[in-house]
Amino acid sequence: MKIETKAVHAGDRKKPGECIPVTVPVHTATTYFYEDMEILDRIFGREQAGFCYSRYDSPNNAALEELVASLENGDGALACASGMAAIQMALLAALADRRKSVLGATALYGATVSLLMQVLEPFGVAVHFVDMCDLEAVRRAAAEHKPGCMLLETLSNPLLRVPELDRIADVARGAGAALVVDNTFATPLMVRPMEWGAQFVVHSATKYLAGHGDVLGGVVVCDHDHHETLRTLSRAVGAVLGPFESYLTMRGIKTFALRMERQCANACRVAAWLAQHPAVERVHFPATPDHPDAAAVRRFFPQGLYGGIVSFEVRNAGRDEIFRFMNALKLIVRATSLGDVHSMMLYPVMSSHRELSPKHRERMGIRDNLVRLSAGIEAVDDILEDLDQALDRIGRSPAKDLT
């Protein structure tokens, strides 16, 4: 079954009685009882499928988990309260019976770096970083640090680097490490990391999956060997998604493939247009001819589907100029997220990577003139017109702006 069809049908139309609801209703109950205590006993003992307490499992979460596992071709999934909760649950499950050591990509979302260094490391987990786009460096780091887990992003945030998933999976396997991949930017429409050897795939469901700016949530998808560990940890930690958020995420996923195709097309147009603009110093986008991972892009991404994110550096701009540019936007929303139906722009040094030191950001290639655009589904000409008039403000002084 094609992924576009799975997105519409998977997880729905369970039979609770004589009638079958077309979509999964919102179940707000926290507890469930049965006429026969023996049945409840078997459900508590996980000997029989069913629901007893919503921290353990619930109809809405179960439906969403079935849907996202289907999209990623995984064996099981866990719906979590946020994308960061999903990353933490994946890391805990990956390290449960392995060396307490994580080898992470140097290019990661700022909050993920904070989770590794400020939460896991103080609890005794060794944390090391390596350029995941340098395969020889990955091999050396894996041999030196002997990680129990390796963590990377399919498309790195915000510079959109693309590591060779299958070859890194081989390195992880040789080191006895589990591979955890954050696939939020790429989505399963473009890349399904488990098909390339990953054991865990993580999504911030807040972004492209839900897609409408009204859900905070995350999902972990895993293989058969790790599913029981993931569920056991979840029952103890309780970082589960609420029923209404699960419902909204499922509703969003039904159109995610259509939205994503439009956002990818818009991003391609925007990237090409920005590359020719005199106020733009550099464009970061997987389809650009000079992308440093062009060979990996050709291997892993379908033609024309390169994601909806375009990052670019504004020529001769610092914080003041970037603020002036972003304040001038009229259509594009200045907000700290991505993947919504409306176009959004973020200033990484102020938001997504704010907690990192300036030197750390510099090593990551995140400069003060960098902005990140999440293309929406609007008419692309309107997006370009808004960018054009806002970039024009860079050349004006504040005094001229008042006239």
| Angle, alpha carbons 95-101-107 (nearest 5°) | 105
CB-CB contact of 372 with 351 (8 Å):
no
Q: Global pTM?
A: 0.93
Choose the final residue of a domain: 228, 253, 278. 253
pLDDT, one tens digit per residue, over 22-71 is 788 898 999 998 889 999 999 888 899 899 999 999 999 999 999 999 99
Cα–Cα distance measured from residue 138 to residue 147, given in angstroms and rounded to the nearest whole number: 11
Regarding whether 367 and 305 lie in a shared domain, the answer is yes
The answer to whether residues 241 and 217 touch, using CB atoms and an 8 Å cutoff, is yes
Continuous H helices in 176-290 = 187-190, 224-237, 243-253, 256-275
Which of 218, 235, 253 lies at the terminal end of a domain, its last residue? 253
Cα separation of 147 and 76, whole Å? Answer: 24
Provide the percentage of residues in the chain whose pLDDT is more than 70.
Answer: 95
- Cβ(217)–Cβ(206) below 8 Å: yes
Residue range(s) defining the domain that contains residue 195: 3-253
What does the alpha-carbon distance between residue 65 and residue 80 come to, in Å, rounded to a whole number? Answer: 10
State whether 148 and 278 are in the same domain. no
Which residue from 331, 313, 330 is spatially nearest to 322, judged by alpha carbons?
Answer: 313
Nearest to 26 by CA among 331, 189, 243, 348: 243
Tokens of 118: 């400020």
The CATH number of the domain holding residue 325 is: 3.90.1150.10
Express each pLDDT in 213-243 by its tens digit. 999 999 999 999 999 999 999 999 999 999 9
Q: What percent of the chain has pLDDT over 90?
A: 81
Average pLDDT over the chain, rounded to an integer: 93
Same structural domain, 12 and 54: yes
Same domain, 264 and 335: yes
Q: Burial, 63: exposed, middle or buried (Cβ in 10 Å; 0-12, 13-18, 19+)?
A: buried
pLDDT of residue 396: 62
Contact predicate 394/279, CB 8 Å = yes
Q: Which of 12-16, 129-133, 221-225, 331-335 has the lowest mean pLDDT?
A: 12-16
Give the dihedral of Cα atoms 26, 29, 33, 34; nearest 10 deg.
-10
Domain count for the chain? 2
Token readout for 366 is 């995140």
Co-location of 350 and 303 in the same domain? yes
Residues forming a β-bridge with 150:
103, 179
Report which of residues 368 and 383 the model is more confident about: 383
Kindly state whether residues 185 and 51 are assigned to the same domain. yes
**pLDDT tens digits, 326-343:** 999 999 999 989 999 999
167 plus 271 within the same structural domain: no
Q: Give the span between the Cα atoms of 279 and 309, in whole angstroms.
A: 19
- Locate 135 and state its tokens: 């395969």
